[in-house]
Structure 1
Amino acid sequence: MPNGDNWQGDVLRDLRGASGPPAAGTGGPSSSVPPAQPTPPTPPTPPAAQASGTERIPAPTQPPTPAPAPTPTPAPQQIPTPPRPRRPTAPDSRAVVDSALSGTARRPQRGEPVAVRAARAVRRIVSSSAAREVAELTRTAEALQQPVTTGRQIAVTSIRGGAGKTTVAALLGTAYAHYRQDPVLLVEADPALGSLPLRLGAETLRWTTADLADIVEPQMSLLDVTGYLVQLPQNAWLLPGSQGQIGAMLDTSAYERVMVALRRYFGVSVVDCETLPAEVARVALSASQARVLAAPATLDGVTSTYAVLQWMQGLPRHMIDGTVVVLSTMVARPGIDVEAAAEKLRSTGAGVHVLPYDRHLAAGGALRTELLARPTRLAAARLAAEVFQLSQKRR
């Protein structure tokens, strides 16, 4: 029956699946069953579709193209930094005077007795010398307060020990610190037997000239530099030559490094040198802008100083033109005519100043300007003014 054929076709379609074509010879007439169409290729089935039970063949895939290897970049060449010089270890502070010795010093006395001071005060009241003295002090102060473009270095030396060299250096440094506004430096270039720290009243020492030669650098400020120095009254600082050790040495290279480096920080530097003809003393005299030669007001002191001045006459002219001799009177009644000796020394072309006898200076120890005799203070101010003017002439 025709209906039976249709029933069989339906069953076969159910068995093959609703999407499959009917079996050959079981379907109805050709008008009721469409002809089979070719199946297009199926793309690869994702994993989710494979899990549903329908197996599909994946399409061939091309191997991945390898990425180009990175070109190695050369590491930047590092220029080795030169090692910084090691700074010396900070030395321990040392007392200038041993405690057992400091107790032996007596009370300092004034440079003049009371009767001499009273007589001078009366003369100033009844005479017109007071006005002249004030005018002279005004001119001296104006000379000492002149500005400087570069630091002035003044070297103080002598022919022999005991000539008052350290005392003169202390008087000069104190005068400059009193009258000037810029910083003042006092340098001890006599490390073996120097007594400048004691004369200036320093209590302890730490850094020395040789130490600072390895420390000071161009980028340091004045505050950095003064941290290695000894603070003095007013605006003055001290650079010791040693800590009081016998036999301490200072070579010329260390001295030159220190003085060149410190020159830009201080308006005036006073150097207490070794006695001639020591090597550092010769270097200091040639490098300074003015020189002071201390000599005792004795016959042998004047004789040796005159011989040195005659030798200096054979050097370049600026050497003796920039030299001032200081005759220090060690006793109240000297054994020579001091003024006549000074005139003989001036005949060589050098300037000469006489430092009068002063009990306070003769006793040694720390210098206290308020205890100095008035003639000593005036003589120190005149000396400081002339030496400073000589240093200004040589640039």
Structure 2
Amino acid sequence: MPNGDNWQSDVLRDLRGASGPPSSVPPAPPTAAQEPTAAQEPSAPQASGTERIPAPTQPPAPAPTPAPQQVPAPPRPRRPSAPDSRAVVDNVLSGTARRPQRGEPVGVRITRAVRRIVSSSAAREVAELTRTAEALQQPVTTGRQIAVTSIRGGAGKTTVAALLGTAYAHYRQDPVLLVEADPALGSLPLRLGAETLRWTTADLADIVEPQMSLLDVTGYLVQLPENAWLLPGSQGQIGAMLDTSAYERVMVALRRYFGVSVVDCETLPAEVARVALSASQARVLAAPATLDGVTSTYAVLQWMQGLPRHMIDGTVVVLSTMVARPGIDVAATAEKLRSTGAGVHVLPYDRHLAAGGVLRTELLARPTRLAAARLAAEVFQLSQKRR
């Protein structure tokens, strides 16, 4: 597994530095020696004709040097008080979820295992996974930011963002950040299995400072398995908002701490989503494998064709099949979308994903895990092309 470069090593160790002492006023220069006065002049000769030798004069004592005055340090801005933790799932609803299902029925899993044993597909699959892992483990010189959005709700964008984040956290050695930039309707904390929330994206915009270390920053984030952290968009309040200036401050400040950041954006054409798409190094458009879903997504891709070329070249569409038998020809639809210049990946139907709730990768169907790894590798490679 390749090691990270100097930037990654610097991120992973403590970046805390001591601040310099407060400045002081330089001491006043010593006062000049006083000139001799008339009383200190030699005495006039006596009438008897003898001269009196004058006594030697003592030099005046120097004036005392005033003590240096300390300039008070400017007051540090007050940080907002820590908000109370809030449960991701309300206690009233905590017992309503059923036991999660596996992505495939047991019969399908057995059949697939037998086919892999008696055919040569197992060796090809291992070779492909090896290439995918190598692509995902490439070092970065600066943090890569990947924005995930959609043109409508229910397209699976949060699921796609969670799959990407967990794939990067599994394969990479440097820290991975998942950011929820959909404060009003986001469900990324639930999908990632977070239990409580405290600090949000808007809160951190007023807290993060350049001299903070990685340890300081992660104290405001939600710890996830492996080497991943979550920054929620809100505490689940209805009507919560995130302005573009707060989003930009947070993403610029956090970029140097994390090798890869995956942003679960609002749906287009929200302003934060447009800013996230233009500022990221790669973009993912989630679309349901339905006629109305692909129609609206195709319109967005046509609009992107009028933007600078790197926008469409760095975009991947993920077609999510919500049912076992979709109402469109998925392969033909993918080819039509690729004609715009964007990449296209198909996320197969998976019972575990379709049920919602906490994403558990060990319960995903094998085709889903392979598709997610391929998607993560291609998106990461696209982000590497734009510096």
TM norm. shorter chain > 0.5: yes
Name the SS for the 1:14 alignment partner.
Answer: coil
Query: For each residue in 1:161-200, what CA deviation from the matched residue of structure 2 results, as whole angstroms up to 9, or x when unmatched?
Result: 0000000000000000010111100000000110000000
How far does residue 219 in structure 1 lie from its aligned partner after superposition? 1.2
The 1:74–1:303 alpha-carbon spacing in structure 2 relative to 1, beyond 3 Å, is same
| Separation in 1, partners of 2:314, 2:11 | 139
Gaps of 5+ in 1: 23-30
| Separation in 2, partners of 1:6, 1:170 | 28
How far does residue 83 in structure 1 lie from its aligned partner after superposition? 2.5
Q: How many residue pairs were aligned?
A: 383
How far does residue 85 in structure 1 lie from its aligned partner after superposition? 1.3
| Separation in 1, partners of 2:16, 2:276 | 123
**In the alignment, is the contact (CA less than 8 A) between 2:25 and 2:69 conserved in 1?**
no
Query: For each residue in 1:330-358, what CA deviation from the matched residue of structure 2 results, as whole angstroms up to 9, or x when unmatched?
Result: 00100000110000000000000000000
Name the SS for the 2:173 alignment partner.
Answer: coil
| Separation in 1, partners of 2:4, 2:376 | 148
The 1:116–1:47 alpha-carbon spacing in structure 2 relative to 1, beyond 3 Å, is same
Corresponding residue for 2:13? 13
The 1:167–1:37 alpha-carbon spacing in structure 2 relative to 1, beyond 3 Å, is closer
The 1:77–1:195 alpha-carbon spacing in structure 2 relative to 1, beyond 3 Å, is same
Greater displacement, 49-58 / 132-141: 49-58
**In the alignment, is the contact (CA less than 8 A) between 1:44 and 1:56 conserved in 2?**
no
How far does residue 102 in structure 1 lie from its aligned partner after superposition? 1.5
> Is 1:345 aligned to residue 337 of structure 2?
yes
Query: For each residue in 1:61-111, what CA deviation from the matched residue of structure 2 results, as whole angstroms up to 9, or x when unmatched?
Result: 9999xxxx8747566565554322110000111100012202000000000
- TM-score w.r.t. the length of structure 2 is 0.83
Corresponding residue for 1:298? 290
**In the alignment, is the contact (CA less than 8 A) between 1:45 and 1:56 conserved in 2?**
no
**In the alignment, is the contact (CA less than 8 A) between 2:15 and 2:214 conserved in 1?**
no
The 1:183–1:60 alpha-carbon spacing in structure 2 relative to 1, beyond 3 Å, is closer
| Separation in 2, partners of 1:265, 1:35 | 43
| Separation in 2, partners of 1:309, 1:32 | 60
Name the SS for the 2:44 alignment partner.
Answer: helix
| Separation in 1, partners of 2:7, 2:356 | 148
The 1:193–1:53 alpha-carbon spacing in structure 2 relative to 1, beyond 3 Å, is same
The 1:364–1:47 alpha-carbon spacing in structure 2 relative to 1, beyond 3 Å, is same
**In the alignment, is the contact (CA less than 8 A) between 2:25 and 2:68 conserved in 1?**
no
The 1:328–1:73 alpha-carbon spacing in structure 2 relative to 1, beyond 3 Å, is same
| Separation in 1, partners of 2:273, 2:194 | 23
**In the alignment, is the contact (CA less than 8 A) between 2:285 and 2:318 conserved in 1?**
yes
| Separation in 2, partners of 1:7, 1:276 | 34
Query: For each residue in 1:292-317, what CA deviation from the matched residue of structure 2 results, as whole angstroms up to 9, or x when unmatched?
Result: 00000000000000010000000000
Give the share of equivalent positions with the same residue, in percent: 94
**In the alignment, is the contact (CA less than 8 A) between 2:284 and 2:318 conserved in 1?**
yes
**In the alignment, is the contact (CA less than 8 A) between 1:44 and 1:57 conserved in 2?**
no
**In the alignment, is the contact (CA less than 8 A) between 1:43 and 1:58 conserved in 2?**
no
